[in-house]
Amino acid sequence: MSNTSLEILPTPQPVTAIESPLLPKLHRTGVWRERLELLLLIVLVFTVVNLATMRFFIEGPSMQPNFVAGQFLIVSRVNYLLGEPQRGEIVVFDAPGDDDHATNPLLIKRLIGIPGDHIRIERLTVDGETAVQVYVNNVLLDEPYINQDGIPFNCTQYCDLVLGPNQYFMMGDNRNHSNDSRAFGPVDRERIVGEAVIRYWPPSDWGLVTHIAYPG
């Protein structure tokens, strides 16, 4: 009968975490701190959106048939920080000549002429019907977007002119019922607030409005 020797192994010891001074300690963020950070993020986003855009309310008939009173638009300020206004765009601006008035509302019109353009506006009567024709650099504009019923706008002072540097010519789509550059003249670049990009109210009229109804 052989003798069997048994090897007694040491009892395993519980493993303890080794704290390294090089590793940062992780702490659970408190609920209130999370809520505060979320609130600050919302305020930041709201501030950025308000700096980049503005809301505009349509009043009056000057942009019919494409815009009617009671509609709300989002106007982008960023578009003209990154680029220059272009023909056909729907622009919100501060009209010249009314800075001293108690109420100085912003206007919304279609941009017809850019710096250097020769603008010429003429009346044409055919079969007793009178219409206003707009020429840019001696080319008759194709304007399927306008409404031109009733008595034509009396254009006298700003009917034939060449736009200077940083000057733009604005006209309403409802040609015979619009106070625009035919009355107050060219609009300086610094007076342009932004481009209308979205119509968001009423919901049935929601959609993009950039170059609305303007031929390509």
Which listed residue (62, 76, 178, 181) is catalytic?
A: 62
Which listed residue (5, 20, 25, 109) is catalytic?
A: 109
Say whether 62 is catalytic: yes
Q: Which CATH number fits domain 70-208: 2.40.30.10, 2.40.10.10, 2.40.50.140, 2.10.109.10?
A: 2.10.109.10
Give the pLDDT of the chain (216 residues) as one tens digit per residue.
Answer: 555 555 665 666 665 555 555 656 555 567 777 777 777 777 666 566 665 679 999 999 999 999 999 999 999 999 998 899 999 999 999 999 766 655 678 999 999 999 999 999 988 776 777 777 899 999 999 999 998 776 666 677 899 999 999 999 999 999 888 999 999 999 999 999 999 999 999 999 999 998 888 887
Encode burial over 39-58: b for 16+ CB neighbours within 10 A, e otherwise: eeeeeeeeeeeeeebbebeb
The answer to whether the predicted template modeling score (pTM) of the entire model surpasses 0.85 is no
Give the model confidence (pLDDT) of 147-169 as tens digits.
877 666 667 789 999 999 999 99
Say whether 2 is catalytic: no
Is the bond into 202 cis (omega within 30 degrees of 0)? yes
Question: What distance in Å separates the CA atoms of residue 136 and residue 125, rounded to the nearest whole number?
Answer: 20
